[in-house]
Structure 1
Amino acid sequence: MRFPASVLPVVLALAAVHETAWAAPPPAPADTVETIRLRPGEPPAVTLTPELLYRILVAELSAQQGQYDDAAQELLSLARDTLDPRLAHQAFQVAMSGRNLALALQTAREWAKLDPGNPEAVAASLALSASSGQTDGLAKTLARRIESADDKDQAIIQAVAIVSKMTDKRLALDVLDKALAGVAKTSALAHLALSDAAWAAGEPRRAIDEAYKAQARDPDSTDAAQRILEYGLRVEPRQAIRDTYGFLANHPNQRPLQLLLVSRLTGQGQFDEALRLLGQMRKQTPEDFDLLYTEAEVNARAGRYDAAKALLAEYISIEQQRRKTVADGASNAQADVSDARLLLVQIAERQNDLKEAIRQLQRIDEPTLKFQALTHEAVLYGKLGDLARARATLDAIKPVDRRERVVVRLTLASIYRDAGRTDQAIDLLKAADLDMPDTAEIKYELGMLLQQQGKKAEFEALMRRVIQLDPDNANAYNSLGYTFVEDNRQLPEARDLLERALDLDPDNPYILDSVGWYLFRTHDYQGALEYLRRSYDQLPAADVAAHLGETLWMLKRREEARRIWAEGLKADPANATLLDTLKRLQVKLP
């Protein structure tokens, strides 16, 4: 596979400097490369000798064959020989394609050295230094760049981008704190940056304080008001909502913030307050018919399905009228109607009226949603037990690309799996794997089904292959790592796998549960408690409850453990993991 940026443009650029180099190379020794520095900021003029051309093509071919380290090393050597920053830039891109951060850091530093006035080059060098934990002098360097910049806000944004590469978020906050010290007294943007960094570092109180400081610097800042709402809801929800209403009283036309507040009120279960705010918005802008749809969403979340359906019927009627009166292509009414029907599908499914859900899906005519509607329709036929109709619906789809082909095959297998026909689902996935070899998604689903059947060797082989095909597949790392932890074997490798999964998807509750369970297995009960609580807060499932409860049990917090287990049993009374845990610990719940 080619790497993102070919070196051939550099070849062409060099040739443009010395056109005769292509047709008639000068009679100089093959190992001679002349470099002449032009005005500051311009690349050097380089004679494209046969030797130079050969080395560039060697790098190109190495990269095409996936030998990124060799290609990057050759390009780095070329950059040093020619003093051409373009070659250093290409070396950096190739090293990043190969995920060799140590080599990428070398190339980025060379790039910055050869082109010190290029902010992208300097930023890349600093960012990789930060990601490698090399933060000595970073704060001072960033502070100097901000101080000397004509555009302070842009310099702050670049500093944030660099610091965000650091894995230690508390250290990142400390670096950013020092870097922004000189501008924090006058810049609202600096406080917004510190607010986000504090939140990422697990310091919510500091995050809120910085958001209020940003608002004090710029009372009209919607960005500050959004952070006060978002972060404040996690710390002081009443205060956050009250202050958001105060901001909106002085800025009544801030529709995005109003809608964000509606969303957050709904998320907190304050449905009546959300609807009251929507009512005010509709009075303020009665021609804003999109608010009908939002009001329907809130009612649907509240379980007020009749009200939601009535609002959606009104919304669909209005949008269909728009569709008739507005010239073709000048209205998004077709897409809006389809969105409304998708919400009606959700409501019908919640009411267990699957036939009505199918009827609504069949009425969707937005071309971009047709594939989604048909696959969903097939799933619903499967839930109704009509596997023949489900398969016929999928067979009628004409996939437009490989992605759709993969989705159709995975959907059919999932329908058979959910119908309890695991063997047939496995056969379907094996056939799909033969038709579309090296498709990570198919191999992953096949592996998970084989794991359920206890075929761990086949599962492990498939997960390792998925990781080879898709090195950023957090689920594959997590599944393999968790299996080792559950079996209490290969724990060092399990740790490495789970660390990689956590790096890729740090807030995934399934991964947090796996990491917590690994820490439990290694007797770090306090560490396990931290991760398992974070997982359970997002995913209060019975399996997580089993792990969290057992950790609390080992910490002698027996009443808390019983409460968590009781919650888990209420959610899933037949959960095997939780029932086995209670049996093993000889715990009986009331």
Structure 2
Amino acid sequence: MNLYSLLFSTLLIAPLYSGLTLAAAERLPAEQPVERIHLRSGELPEVSLSADILYRILVAEVAVQQGDYEAASQTFLSLSRDTLDPRFAQRAFQFSMADRNLSRGLRAAKEWSVLAPNDPEAKATALALEASTGNTAGLAQALYQRIESARDKEQAVVQALGIVSKMVDPRLAFDVLDQAMPEDVRTLAISHLALADAAWAAQRSERALLEARQALLRAPGSEAAAQRVLEYGLQVNADEALNEAQEFARQYPESRNLHLLLINRLVDNKRYNDALAVVRSMQRRNPEDFDLLYTEAEINTRAERFTEAKALLVEFISVQSQRRRSVRDQASNALANISDARLALVQIAEQQNDYAEAIQQLNLIEEPSLRFQATVHRAVLEARAGDMRRAQRTLDMIGTQDKQEQAVVALTRATVYRQAGRTDSAVEVLERADRELPDTPELKYDLAMLYERQGRIDDFERLMKQVIDLQPADANAYNALGYTYADQNRKLDEAQDLLEQALELEPDNPYILDSVGWYLYRVGDNQAALEYLKRSYEQLPEADVAAHLGEVFWSKGLKDEALRIWSEAFSLDPDNSTLLETLKRFDVQLP
């Protein structure tokens, strides 16, 4: 091995590259792990390590560490062309995709496949990216031939699914996989499972369900197929999907994963008695499965049957305490299970406004990793119970282990003051914490929101921009600043840029959808505003969103709809300031 190859090998295992996988670098929708290619040494070029190559490698490394994927990918691409080393082209591809630059990624992938002609992953990656530009015929044909000639058809189908998952457009990915599947291979259950998953990623729910059912028909006892029939069927006909899953559970009583998934989905659909029936059938078959006690308690909690839930949790704690006494803590998860049960009892007590019981359960938690969290939570509950002095004393006695815990204590202390109406004291706490921990975005964010409440808009803007600089991938600061500009009807161009960035990061976040809708209303696009606000209200039926949605309805002349939405919100939150201000502005008196 020459000096250049030795350096490259060292770099591949250096901390700078630790944890870096192709899937992580690409940030593609499928998010499936992809094996890194390791080429045989005989396939590597013999290139001497010059000062220029060393310098460029180091420049690319530094760019990666700084998050400058554009510079890193361009440098690696130029290195691959100068050295003919496919590993540089592979890195150029990875960081081009991290930079979301499809054209550069395609150039890098083609370079990689040229430099490593015997590497099927390199060729498949190039074809997958080319297919993303609309040229799908080449990839579909290559995958078809690959599956047809493979001895292990099932493995070939799985590999094909992994390859198309690299495509940027999941709809094209499904079309390619569908075209690549030979007729004789379609008799395999795995083929229908792969098509079901690809169709689901392409948001083709009905086709995903059809393929999942075909897989189950080919392999009647397949738990994986039954799970997909349930999950994908919920989007088509929820009751039918749940009933089918219940029938499968009855026929195949040992399908534990399907049973647990079914329980969760029944609870999501508020079919609590059906969920309990599934749990009890599992308990009859496995009376020693004490985890099912906890599951039963969770179902009763969701159904707000708190008496039954508490009794089950107490029984679960008793069983786990016996396990703990009979087995050393290090060899058992009993202590963790007991702590989980006590936290569940805390949740129930809070829902019943029984703060004394909640605090008592927190005090009983012994799990070392939860003690800090439990103590902080105790302070919050003490404040809610009206004992501000005790809450502050509890926070004073916490011994913090690091800067993160210091920040949590400061944020909690400020929350306690804010909830008591002492905004100025909360601001003082966070200002002091921000001076002591100047690079903590959570402190700056909460402090900025308090400044906005005080009307200190310049300070609010300054801190929110600092948060964005510290956490450019966090949607909250973009949303908060963009919404504030829209709400104040100023800097609307900047508001648009901020909200577009927030929406790109979290496209289904109901708070962001509300902000975007409110911005669109401000710029006069009432129809688009209505669509975003409706989507937000479906997920987040809160008074602030209702106030905005009702105002857009009113402005479009749909006053009955506006009154209906406002009435719903008023019944839930009659003291909401945004709603009350909106009603006052339109001189509306609700019945």
TM-score by length of structure 2 reads 0.85
Paired position in structure 1 for 2:547: 546
**Residue 310 of structure 1: CA displacement?**
1.1
C-alpha separation in 2, matches of 1:183 and 1:466: 56
Distance apart, 1:197 and its partner CA: 5.1
- Distance in 2, matches of 1:46 and 1:555, equals 70
The total of aligned residue pairs comes to 557
User: Whole-Å Cα distance in 2 between the matches of residues 444 and 289 of structure 1?
Assistant: 43
**CA distance 1:299–1:123, shift in 2 (3 Å):** same
Are residues 140 and 72 of structure 1, via their aligned partners in 2, closer, same or farther at CA, if it must alter by over 3 Å? Answer: closer
1:30 aligned residue: none
SS in 1 for 2:43: coil
Match of 1:158 in 2: 162
Deviation string 1:172-218 (CA, Å, 9 cap, x unpaired) is 65555555586883354454455455555554444433432333343
1:425-464 pair list within 5 angstroms: 425-464=426-465
More displaced, 172-181 or 256-265? Answer: 172-181
Q: Which residue of 1 aligns with 2:414?
A: 413
- State the partner residue of 1:31: none
Give the partner amino acid of 1:484.
Y
Specify the SS of the correspondent of 1:162. coil
Partner Cα distance (2:128, 2:435) in 1 = 42
Instruction: Give the secondary structure class of the aligned counterpart of 2:590.
Output: coil
How far did 1:491 drift? 2.7
Say whether the 8 Å CA contact 2:276–2:299 is kept in structure 1: yes
> Matches of 1:104 and 1:554 in 2, distance apart?
47
Kept in 1: contact 2:161–2:177 (CA 8 A): no
TM-superposition CA deviations, 1:1-23 (whole Å, max 9, x none): xxxxxx9986254999xxxxxxx
Q: In the alignment, which residue of structure 2 is the partner of 1:327?
A: 328
CA deviations on 1:490-514 (whole Å, 9 max, x unpaired) are 3333222222222222221111222
Question: 474-483 vs 521-530, which deviates more?
Answer: 521-530
- Contact 1:320–1:333 (8 Å) recurs in 2: yes
Checking the alignment, whether the CA contact within 8 Å between 2:4 and 2:48 is kept in structure 1 is: no
**8 Å CA contact 1:145, 1:155 repeated in 2:** no
Q: Give runs of aligned pairs for residues 132-143 of structure 1, distance below 5 A.
A: 134-138=132-136, 140-142=138-140
Distance 2:530 2:303 in 1: 33
Tell me how far apart the structure 2 counterparts of residues 587 and 398 of structure 1 sit (CA, whole Å).
53
What pairs up with 1:18-417 in 2 under 5 angstroms? 42-60=43-61, 69-93=70-94, 103-118=104-119, 121-122=122-123, 125=126, 134-138=132-136, 140-142=138-140, 144-145=142-143, 147-149=145-147, 150=150, 151-163=155-167, 165-166=168-169, 174=175, 177-178=178-179, 185-196=186-197, 198-199=199-200, 202-417=203-418
Task: Give the corresponding residue for 1:34.
Answer: none
After superposing the two structures, state which structure 1 stretch, 421-430 or 337-346, moved more: 421-430
Structure 2, unmatched stretches of 5+, are: 13-38
Q: Could you say if the C-alpha distance between residues 414 and 488 of structure 1 is closer, same or farther in structure 2, counting changes exceeding 3 Å?
A: same
What is the CA-CA distance between 1:276 and the residue it aligns to?
2.2
Q: Residue 78 and residue 287 in structure 1: after superposition, are their counterparts in 2 closer, same or farther (change >3 A)? A: same
Whether the aligned pair in 2 keeps the contact of 1:41 and 1:117 (CA below 8 Å) is no
Q: Secondary structure at the match of 1:329?
A: helix
Deviations 1:213-264 (A, max 9, x none): 3333433332332233234334422211211112112211112221222222
C-alpha change, 1:202 and 1:91, in structure 2 (3 Å) is closer
* Contact map agreement 1:192 1:224 (CA 8 A) in 2: yes
Return the offset for 1:372. Answer: 1.5
Distance 1:565 1:255 in 2: 45
**Structure 2 residue identity aligned to 1:407:** V
Q: Is the 8 A contact 1:211 1:224 kept in 2?
A: yes
Q: Structure 2 CA distance, aligned partners of 1:519 and 1:304?
A: 43
Describe the shift of the 1:563–1:66 C-alpha distance in structure 2 as closer, same or farther (beyond 3 A): closer
C-alpha contact (below 8 Å) 1:123/1:158 kept by paired residues: no
Q: Which residue number in structure 1 is paired with residue 512 of structure 2?
A: 511
- Following the alignment from structure 1 to structure 2, what is the Cα–Cα distance between the partners of residues 146 and 218? 23
| Distance (whole Å) between structure 1 residues aligned to residue 458 and residue 5 of structure 2 | 47
Q: Is the 8 A contact 2:310 2:345 kept in 1?
A: yes
| 1:117 Cα offset (Å) | 4.2
Q: Pick closer, same or farther for the CA change 1:93–1:265 going to 2, 3 Å.
A: closer
Mapped to 1, the partners of 2:441 and 2:324 lie a distance apart of: 42
- Deviation of 1:540 (Å): 0.8
Q: Which moved more, 1:303-312 or 1:330-339?
A: 303-312
Q: Out of 322-331 and 190-199, give the one that drifted further.
A: 190-199
Q: Over aligned residues, Cα RMSD in angstroms? A: 3.1
Change beyond 3 A, Cα 1:144–1:265: same
Which residue number corresponds to residue 19 of structure 1? none
Q: Is the 8 A contact 2:157 2:190 kept in 1?
A: yes
Q: CA deviation at 1:144?
A: 2.0
Alignment partner for residue 11 of structure 1, among 7, 10, 35?
A: 7
- In the alignment, the residues of structure 1 paired with residue 178 and residue 230 of structure 2 have an alpha-carbon distance, to the nearest angstrom, of 23
Q: Give the match for residue 581 of structure 1.
A: 582
Whether the 8 Å CA contact 2:144–2:179 is kept in 1: the answer is no
Q: TM-score, length-normalised on structure 1?
A: 0.85
Matched to 2:80, the amino acid is A
Residue identity matched to 1:524: D
Q: In 1, distance between residues paired with 2:203 and 2:57?
A: 47
C-alpha displacement at 1:323, in angstroms? 0.7
Once the two structures are TM-superposed, the CA of residue 454 in structure 1 deviates from its matched residue by 1.9
Deviation at 1:83, TM superposition (A): 0.2
SS for the counterpart of 2:79 is: helix
Which letter maps to 1:294? T
Q: Find the aligned partners of 1:419 and 1:9 in 2 and give their Cα distance.
A: 64
CA distance in 2, matches of 1:263, 1:311: 18
CA contact (8 A) 1:143 1:180 kept: no
User: Displacement of 1:84 after TM fit?
Assistant: 0.7
Q: Do the aligned partners of 1:156 and 1:190 also contact (CA within 8 Å) in 2? A: no
Question: How far is 1:523 from its partner?
Answer: 3.5
Query: Displacement, 1:302?
Result: 1.7
Identity %: 53
* Structure 1 letter corresponding to 2:582: T
Give a deviation string over 1:82-104, Cα, whole Å, max 9, x none.
Answer: 10122233444555666666655
Shift of 1:48: 1.9
Provide, for residues 484-543 of structure 1, a one-character-per-residue CA deviation record: whole Å limited to 9, x for no partner.
Answer: 222223333322222222222222111122222233333333333332222222211011
Change (3 A) 1:97 1:226: closer
Per-residue CA deviation, residues 283-333 of structure 1 (Å, 9 max, x unaligned), is 121111111111111112222211111111111111101111123422111
Partner amino acid, structure 1, of 2:376: T
Aligned to 1:472: 473
Cα distance in structure 1, aligned partners of 2:360 and 2:589: 47
Any stretches of 5+ residues in structure 1 without a counterpart? 1-6, 17-37
* Offset, 1:40: 9.5
Preserved CA contact (<8 Å) 1:15 1:48: no
My pick for the range that moved more, 101-110 or 506-515, is: 101-110
| Structure 1: distance between partners of 2:10 and 2:342 | 58
Given that 1:450 and 1:458 are in contact with CA atoms closer than 8 Å, whether structure 2 keeps it comes out as yes
- Which residue of structure 2 aligns with residue 559 of structure 1? 560
